[in-house]
Structure 1
């Protein structure tokens, strides 16, 4: 069986039960994938000192515990809101503008002149499926093989 045969190209032809089943199966697969990454995530978190923060705040009770955590989460939320506000400001200010210049269309005669060949050769290369251009030792371009298949 080909791989294309088992891929559903038109999910609107599925029954609602099939869509729910395949959605749950996808969710379980992604959850398992994340589960496989947990040791690496733990190692990175440990490297950044999150475990030390937890031990200092909750296990040894040196801080105010939950109050410190709430303050930290509020600061993170404020930082996130600032970044979101800044990105929305930039989107409204610059969002609809096209700031790139349009490219000038290069005609076949200009290409032929630059390559040192004829315009018919340039048109044949443009329309062919496979074109080969060879460089001489002096850097000049030479049209090689032109094939339609």
Structure 2
């Protein structure tokens, strides 16, 4: 297959200002989309009794509950601070060095032994990009041919 620039979008090839502007346009259309669904969502919530629960919890007799009005934002801020603190603790503890080491190279003979195939098949698999692997009756690789996708 040939590369078609009209089918594949490269957003990072665009200028940052243009990407940001199109991001805001996309956000605006998503907001409009959700706004258009709001009457149906309101109907479903009303049928499930959510509207009644809202009035009972927050606006009983059309009064705002001061405890809920003050405590819920405080609890939300405390949860956010706790989450940020935990993330910063983990970043400080684990972020200094990468503890993952490089994997040792595996020899061609080890790959062939792991596959149960001849070293020539393992070498062909190593050198090819896209292949069709032929299996014998014992479900072990016996041969390999390059795929048509690799030649395009």
Q: Supply the RMSD in Å over aligned alpha carbons.
A: 4.0
Give structure 1 stretches of 5+ with no counterpart.
none
Q: Return the offset for 1:110.
A: 2.4
Aligned to 1:109: 109
- Is residue 134–residue 142 contact of structure 1 (8 Å, CA) maintained in 2? yes
Quick one: which of 15, 18, 21 aligns to 1:11?
15
Aligned to 2:77: 77
- Is residue 118–residue 142 contact of structure 2 (8 Å, CA) maintained in 1? yes
Moved more, 34-43 or 133-142: 34-43
Q: Return the offset for 1:53.
A: 4.3
Q: Return the offset for 1:33.
A: 3.3
Q: Return the offset for 1:58.
A: 0.9
CA distance in 2, matches of 1:108, 1:77: 56
CA distance in 1, matches of 2:99, 2:48: 40
Tell me if 1:58 matches 2:62. Answer: no
Aligned to 1:95: 95
Q: Return the offset for 1:55.
A: 0.7
TM-score, normalised via structure 1 length: 0.64
- Is residue 124–residue 146 contact of structure 1 (8 Å, CA) maintained in 2? no
CA distance in 2, matches of 1:142, 1:76: 62
Q: Return the offset for 1:51.
A: 3.5
Query: SS in structure 2 opposite 1:81?
Result: helix
CA shift in 2, pair 1:127/1:30, >3 Å: same
